[in-house]
């Protein structure tokens, strides 16, 4: 049986693959639950410095939640509550993943697929990308957390436009309104995305994980550091990454944060 979700590795980059090409990578309830457990496992892996989420091929990133199962698993309040909780748990774990994350989008990112993409730090799209949230086409109300993330990206008016009309937009328009960060030809997309991820992976993981935490705290409404965040900031000044960064600056060379990671793994 084909595995609908699996993880590949490109050195210190983890690649989470949606693998239902015959359904344009539509996401089932079981897939949302598996996604949650996969992210738990990836969080425990200290070797991972960047996470990429993508579809298995150029067919689609994801056409969204699999509507064909809705009458069985998402019909009426009780079932809908259980479904929504499972889906939102997985999406929130991706959003809160402690390492930088990138959505590599070929062609379609619709509904729940776009929710996944919006939970990543960056979105790379093929030039033939198509985007939209089509809740208004099936009579359901889009949830608060994902609506807030969408608003943070494109603003209130464009959020209303996309949700009220359930319209689909192309990659260039999506980039123009801030929904997508980078657009490339389909045959260039993966290479450009990996190169971007590699540039991040060569930087300090202590710094990047901490910076992500700070940014999310600000998005959540923080105006100052809480005790936990203040400790993380101060602890970074005692880290091996900090020592390597300062030493590299003094020696006029590029810092090698991967060397530190490799030393830790072999001790």
CATH superfamily membership of 205-266: Lyase 2-enoyl-coa Hydratase, Chain  A, domain 2 (1.10.12.10)
- Joined tokens for residue 155: 């603003």
Pick the CATH number of 5-201 from 3.40.50.720, 3.40.50.300, 3.90.226.10, 3.40.190.80: 3.90.226.10
185, HSE (Cβ side, Cα atoms, 13 Å): 2
Instruction: Report helix angle 29-43 to 76-95, nearest 10.
Output: 30
Instruction: Indicate yes or no: pTM above 0.95.
Output: no
User: In whole angstroms, what is the distance from residue 153 CA to residue 162 CA?
Assistant: 12
Cβ-contact 97, 208 below 8 angstroms: no
In whole angstroms, how far apart are CA 222 and each of 96, 145, 216, 225, 247?
Answer: 16, 17, 9, 7, 33
In whole angstroms, how far apart are CA 203 and each of 21, 50, 261?
Answer: 34, 11, 12
pLDDT of the chain, 267 residues: tens digit per residue: 589 999 999 999 999 999 999 999 999 999 999 999 999 999 999 999 999 999 999 999 999 999 999 889 988 888 999 999 999 999 999 999 999 999 999 999 999 999 999 999 999 999 999 999 999 999 999 999 999 999 999 999 999 999 999 999 999 999 999 999 999 999 999 999 999 999 999 999 999 999 999 999 999 999 999 999 999 999 999 999 999 999 999 999 999 997 645 443 432
Q: Where in the chain is the domain with CATH 1.10.12.10?
A: 205-266
């Amino acid at each position: 049986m084909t595995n609908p979700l699996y993880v590949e590795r490109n050195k210190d980059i983890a690649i989470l693959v949606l693998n239902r090409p015959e359904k344009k990578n539509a996401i089932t309830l079981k897939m949302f639950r598996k996604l949650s457990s996969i992210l738990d496992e990836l969080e425990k892996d200290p070797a991972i410095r960047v996470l990429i989420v993508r579809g298995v091929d150029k067919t689609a990133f994801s056409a969204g939640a699999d509507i064909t199962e809705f009458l069985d698993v998402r019909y009426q309040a009780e079932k809908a509550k259980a479904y929504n909780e499972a889906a939102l748990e997985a999406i929130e774990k991706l959003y809160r993943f402690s390492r930088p994350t990138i959505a590599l989008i070929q062609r379609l990112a619709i509904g729940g697929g776009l929710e996944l993409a919006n939970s990543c730090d960056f979105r790379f799209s093929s030039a033939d990308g198509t985007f939209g949230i089509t809740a208004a086409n099936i009579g359901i109300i889009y949830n608060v957390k994902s609506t807030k993330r969408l608003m943070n990206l494109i603003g209130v008016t464009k959020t209303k436009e996309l949700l009220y009309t359930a319209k689909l937009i192309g990659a260039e328009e999506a980039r123009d309104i801030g929904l997508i960060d980078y657009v490339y030809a389909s045959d260039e997309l993966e290479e450009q995305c990996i190169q971007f991820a590699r540039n991040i992976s060569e930087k300090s993981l202590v710094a990047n994980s901490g910076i992500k935490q700070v940014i999310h705290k600000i998005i959540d409404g923080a105006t100052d550091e809480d005790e936990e965040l203040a400790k993380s900031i101060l602890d970074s000044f005692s880290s091996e990454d900090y020592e390597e960064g300062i030493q590299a600056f003094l020696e006029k060379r590029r810092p090698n944060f991967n060397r530190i990671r490799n030393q830790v793994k072999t001790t």
